Structure 1
């Protein structure tokens, strides 16, 4: 609550210490009572002679006057009023920015709502981060079109997108039993979520190792595993069934074939 000193003129004599009321009308009414002013024609002036029309321009412990000491031109007084308007517009811009920090994506017909920080923080060079980064980001991309609700449209699988969004939130790959890690890996590559790929490769490797004797790998399974594995890592194919898989012209140097099943 602001305190203000009210004087009749710039002599600063016989003033009153008052508390700003909720409205300008209430404040003027209290001034009329304290200074024995008849009628409702009370005007308040700042130290530079501008009439005050809004209590928000009065600072704490400021002097105000009932008679203007210096007559300023209209431009000076308008600048004060414009400053108040600029402040109000600035507040609205801040509110708008806070709202825009929440983003809704429509991925393959399913909507996901997340924060801008989630999309930017972990993978700042990913496609999602570049779509919603600020103007200072050199990798900025134009966001996609929106649906009737304003959600950004992405024509990809929602089933595989959900694990990616959760990874951006907490940094761990968590897949439900019915979600194929191969599909999530494809989406991670598409969105450019590079730090997620090693964890998905590990899941795929464990999945390959768990194949039974009657579950043969195809050439495509082998090729995909090789492509997604770093050249500095060893891919383990112990005990897997490669019967019927065409391995012709594949680089198998970094694959561990110990306890390899006989190829028919």
Structure 2
């Protein structure tokens, strides 16, 4: 093969995915690889007569690297996988006992930690930072979570029954299907949170921030939303029967499919609301 041919373009179809490279890349960067041998000029390589692609019936990156003996690529992939395993091992799941020990220290943080399914009921977790954590199906019943941070957490299906959540931050949190009945959420920040099918029956949401929150199918029967800000909130099929919405901010909110029987709306800002 002439030196001028080494820089010529080659088209590869690997497992249905098409790539462009040069013979120089295939033969010189990994000279001991099977691909180098295939394009060394010692073998006949069949191409698609119509489109000019060399078809290689293989898939999956690590297996390809091993099959074609691309040692540099194998080393790089192995390094990444080992690093990922170390990170996963360092985030081992905690137990209730571990949590109790941790909260005895100041400024406790569980950012990004997986606490799924733990029973953390009745604990004093005030001011704890749970941001970005996985809190699926966690039991927080009757826990003191005042001023705790739940920013962007995944707390789908968690139980906050009768929990103290005053001034908590739930911005961007996923609370789909969570139970917050009887919880104290005064002045809590739930902006942009996913609250689909949540239960807030009898919850205290006075002065809560619910801007752009998704309350579709949520049950807020008998909840106290006095002075709450619901600007841009989605309330499709939400149950607000008997809820206190006095002085609540509901401008331009679509209330057409919302159940408001017996709700108190005295002093509520309903300018532009759809009813």
TM-score, normalised via structure 1 length: 0.31
Q: Which has the higher contact order (CA 8 A, sep 6+)?
A: 1
Of Structure 1 and Structure 2, which has the larger fraction of its residues in helix?
A: 1
TM-score, normalised via structure 2 length: 0.30
